[in-house]
Chains A and B, each alone.
Chain A
Amino acid sequence: MMAPLMNLKETELCLGLPGGAEAMESSAKSCIGNKRGFSETVDLKLNLHSNKQGPVDLNVAGAPKEKTLIKDPAKPPAKAQVVGWPPVRNYRKNVMANQKNSETEEAMSGGGGGAFVKVSMDGAPYLRKVDLKMYKSYKDLSDALAKMFSSFTMGSYGAQGMIDFMNESKVMDLLNSSEYVQSYEDKDGDWMLVGDVPWPMFVESCKRLRLMKGSEAIGLAPRAMEKRKNRS
């Protein structure tokens, strides 16, 4: 059993210059603390452990992860998605995703066009675009965003969907517990917390999405609740 594992270690993905494992670890260590680059923010592999020591842990923890895979095939492994792998084009993935949606739900009425909005995440070096019309609910959107920006956690936010903005303490709990929350810019140009209106209304009014740190979003919450009160 050891021989294949050693082999895996040789081919293990890690940062740093080629050389022995020690050399790898030390140069990987020197990368910690520096601003993360493109693949690090998006590659969930480095975030298997909640602390940011990603590269070092990967070397060590990688092998046992494989072991778990073989030992317990019934339990699906927590192996996360690597960006762009398997190499299936986005176009194809989107088509299949669309079809899976319409297979399980009523055929989408062909009305209206796409609702493309830009999505930015604090700390990520680039934006993505999503078509809100491709999703049926906040959960769908959360899942898709999670895949796209795999390094953020949503806590229980995504599962809930709509937030009860009347309940201030619940909102505060949420913002304190999640690493990132979804906020959006509505038609009026105000930044609101995602989840304050029914899904169809959200699709109509959302102009832009931003995944921001929970701590920063605290500033949004009171305004969001104000606006909600004014709307209803």
Chain B
Amino acid sequence: MAYSLLLSLLYLGMLCGNGLVSARSELFTPDPSRGPHFTGCRSREQETFRCWWSAGIFQNLTEPGALRVFYMTKHALSEWQECPDYTRTVKNECYFNKTFTQIWTSYCIQLRSVRENITYDEACFTVENIVHPDPPIGLNWTLLNVSRSGLHYDILVRWAPPPSADVQMGWMSLEYQVQYRVRNNSHWEMLDLESGTQQSIYGLHTDKEYEVRVRCKMTAFDNFGEFSDSIIVHVAQIPSKESTFPTTLVLIFGMIGVVILLVLLIFSQQQRLMVIFLPPIPAPKIKGIDPELLKNGKLDQLNSLLSSQDMYKPDFYHEDPWVEFIQLDLDDPAEKNESSDTQHLLGLSRSGSSHVLNFKSDDDSGRASCYDPEIPNPEDLATLLPGHSGRGDNHPLVSRSSSSIPDLGVQQTSEVKETPIQKQPAVPSWVNMDFYAQVSDFTPAGGVVLSPGQLNSSLEKKKEEENEKKIQFQLVSDGAYTSENTARQLSANVPSSPGPEQGYQTFPTQAVEGTSERGVPGCPPSDSQMPYLLPEAPPSPILPPVSDYTVVQEVDAQHSLLLNPPSSQPAICPHSPNKHLPAMPTMPMGYLTPDFLGNLTP
């Protein structure tokens, strides 16, 4: 298929010969090196057309009539006819008017020299393919807008179709092309084809001269017409820079001023702003107590403070009607002799070890009452007691009867210790209080009889007993809770006493440990304050505060429990004689549970 096409085309090409009539305007210029030839054919309005030729190098054929044009329309089988009209005004032009012009018809023209009967040139064409429309007319421009900066502007260019083209009827439908350039520049800017008669040009620079021109062609054909005359476009630059300049300056300076004001404001109100943005964390407060004093104050001040605190809590002790006391029941006196566990317990102390029943109280027990529910019933203990061999009266526990033993040095919590203070309405001070009592005798039933009150007598009694065997009840202080006074006095008492018997051990160091943070002066400090008390302490002045409970250190052969050194006065602790014995605090370590008792039993 393509092969046959190619062949046919070649054949046709041979038919046409060398002479070619191109519709391009570039071939309008005659070629001087050639012989006579057609330089071009054009139609302006698709109704008439003209052809031009040139003699070329054959100058002898330049006279008119030497060369003649013949044409033939292949539409109808016709012979060659001569040019209908040789234009008189224009040289070498053949003009075909409306009657001789047929559109959509193939024309072939020949350039002949009649005298010599030579055909110099031949060309074939159809009229619609050689149409070059006339240039548009009436080109003008209007200013659309100018940019804010005054540097650019847009224009609208208008024109009219060429009058020769019959656009009204639509015989020719034209497309236009606008071109513009900066004046005296060589490069033309081309815009897209426009089928209307106006177009906008954007982005032109002020103070520059522009040339604008337009040309047209038939739609769906390729031949552009000539350009129209150029128009000059020029817009003067409006000096508007000064108006914008101060505005920006004012803005800049305003911003700087505002920033400076803000900085000054912040620096002047720094403290207030700090409070607003970073509020301080409230410190814990105790009502009535200055936290500064707590941190930096003296011990006695603190003691007074804290005691005064609890002065106003009168109901602590009243609400504990069920304070329990551990009752130590010894079934038979025979058992008293068996003190295996106790001896074991105390034997450790004899050996000089500092085995101590360490009664460690809870920190911040916060106990509002003396009652400690965890303390087993005396009955339970009592039942347990017989089960253990050798328990007997060697029970290290101090049994407290409900009311018979008012004074018992039992370690208590601060609250418990201090509530007795309040229980004594008539006691201005706790000098008369018997904080601790000495075990004076054992009942046959195994109860421990503690003698309250009369210190001297008890002390003397104790002295007598201790003459035989001093049992040192060593009160070990929990390092943290020994009051200073206690420690000092204890340590003072230590060297003054004569050589102690077995079990006499001094722990001045331990006693000095720590400082009691609270506690009634003169009273045993809270929690497990076990001041070191010497059994042989000389009759000392007011005893330093003693803990609420006393660790039974040793039971001598006569089954007397030495709780406190007889010389030492009972703790001047506010303990009402009628008060219930404070219950033992719950101390897992210090509290001798039945299990512990069991462990003690060898």
Q: Do A and B come from one complex?
A: no
- A interface residues, Cβ below 8 angstroms from B: none
- B interface residues, Cβ below 8 angstroms from A: none
